[in-house]
Amino acid sequence: MSLTLTKPQLLTLLAGTGLDGVYHSGDLGVLDPLLSVLDENDPDFAIGTP
């Protein structure tokens, strides 16, 4: 499978909100196992603390 996308489209894909505007070839079903191992986004995650 092959995807052609921009960085914002990649972030949208990883957030699970769709494939709008992403060019692809091959079986998109192979994305499900990849996306299933990603953690849920935690907006309260402290990247750096003083």
What integer pLDDT is reported at residue 13 of this predicted model? 81
Note down pLDDT in tens along the chain; length 50 residues: 888 899 998 888 878 777 788 888 888 888 788 778 877 778 888 888 77
How far, in Å, CA of 49 to CA of 26, rounded?
Answer: 43
Q: What is the pLDDT of residue 28?
A: 81
- Cα–Cα distance for residue pair 12/33, rounded to 1 Å: 17
Single pTM value for the model: 0.53
Residue 7's alpha-carbon distances to 11, 35, 40, in angstroms, are 6, 17, 19
Question: How far is 2 from 36, CA to CA, in rounded Å?
Answer: 19
pLDDT value of position 7: 92
Which positions ≥6 away from 31 have C-beta within 8 Å? 1, 13
pLDDT of 1: 80
